[in-house]
C-alpha cells in the first residue's frame, strides 16, 4: 500500500455485508404490518443508512412520531428473522485482514444501532479488525459528519488521511460534509448513477476491485 491514507472507514450494510435487499424487505414488511402504504423497492433501498427519523420522514412524512417506535419494533422482528442468512460480500472475509496487515486503521460508520452492529461484527468474525465504530443511535446520523468526526478524533486521524468507503449517497455526502475523500462501491443499495453524481474518487464494482484500487491509490 502506498500510504496515502491512514484510516479506512467502511459503511457496513451494503458495503461489507450483503444485507441491502433484506433490509428493504424488512422495512416493507414493517409498514405492511402497521397497515401503512408499503414503500417501493427503490424507496426502501434509498433510506438504507439513514437514521430513524429521516427514514420514516422520507418513506411516510405524515406518520405520527408516536408510531415510530412501533415501526422500529416491527422492522426488528422481520430483520432478525432472516439475519442469519445475510453474509459478507465475496472477498471481504479475506480482504479485511489483509488491509490490517497493510497497516491501515479501520473503522465502521453505520446506520445500524450499536446493538445491531456489535451482533453483526461478532457473527461475521470481523470484530477484531476494527479500531473504532460509530452507529446511528450514538449521535447525529448520516449524512451529518458527526460519525466521521468522532472516528477521526478517536483514532487521531486527519481528514486528508481518512477515506470513507460506502454504497450510498448518504455515505458520500457524509464524507463531503466532513472534508474526507470517498470511494463508492456499486454493488450495494444505491444505483451507480446516483453514486457517480456525488463525484467520489472512484466507483468500484466489487470488494476485489476496492482492494485493487487501494493497492494503486491507497
Write out the three cell numbers for 184: 463508492
Q: Known catalytic residue: 167?
A: no
Cell of 118: 456489535
**Known catalytic residue at 13:** yes
Catalytic residue among 13, 54, 167, 171: 13
- Nine-digit cell string for 145: 459528519
Please state at what angle helix 207-217 crosses helix 92-101, rounded to 10 degrees: 20
CA separation (Å) from 155 to 103, 106, 133, 151, 161?
14, 9, 10, 6, 11
For 172, other C-beta atoms within 10 Å of its C-beta total 28
Considering 11, 18, 146, 167, which one is annotated as catalytic? Answer: 11
Backbone angles phi, psi at 8, to 5 degrees: -110, 120
Residues annotated as catalytic (active site), given as ranges: 11, 13
Amino acid at each position: 500500500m502506498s500510504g496515502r491514507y491512514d484510516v479506512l472507514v467502511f459503511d457496513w450494510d451494503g458495503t461489507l455485508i450483503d444485507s441491502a435487499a433484506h433490509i428493504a424487505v424488512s422495512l416493507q414488511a414493517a409498514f405492511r404490518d402497521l397497515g401503512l402504504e408499503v414503500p417501493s423497492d427503490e424507496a426502501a433501498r434509498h433510506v438504507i443508512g439513514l437514521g430513524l427519523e429521516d427514514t420514516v420522514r422520507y418513506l411516510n412524512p405524515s406518520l405520527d412520531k408516536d408510531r415510530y417506535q412501533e415501526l422500529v419494533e416491527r422492522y426488528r422482528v422481520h430483520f432478525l428473522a432472516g439475519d442469519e442468512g445475510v453474509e459478507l460480500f465475496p472477498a471481504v472475509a479475506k480482504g479485511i485482514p489483509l488491509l490490517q496487515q497493510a497497516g491501515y486503521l479501520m473503522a465502521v460508520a453505520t446506520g445500524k444501532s450499536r446493538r445491531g452492529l456489535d451482533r453483526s461484527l461478532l457473527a461475521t468474525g470481523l470484530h477484531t479488525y476494527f479500531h473504532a465504530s460509530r452507529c446511528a443511535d450514538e449521535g447525529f446520523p448520516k449524512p451529518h459528519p458527526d460519525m466521521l468526526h468522532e472516528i477521526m478524533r478517536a483514532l487521531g486521524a486527519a481528514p486528508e488521511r481518512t477515506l470513507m468507503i460506502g454504497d450510498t449517497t448518504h455515505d458520500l455526502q457524509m464524507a463531503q460534509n466532513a472534508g474526507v475523500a470517498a470511494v463508492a462501491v456499486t454493488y450495494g443499495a444505491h444505483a451507480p448513477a446516483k453514486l457517480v453524481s456525488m463525484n467520489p474518487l472512484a466507483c468500484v464494482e466489487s470488494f476485489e476491485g476496492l482492494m485493487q484500487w487501494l493497492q494503486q491509490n491507497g
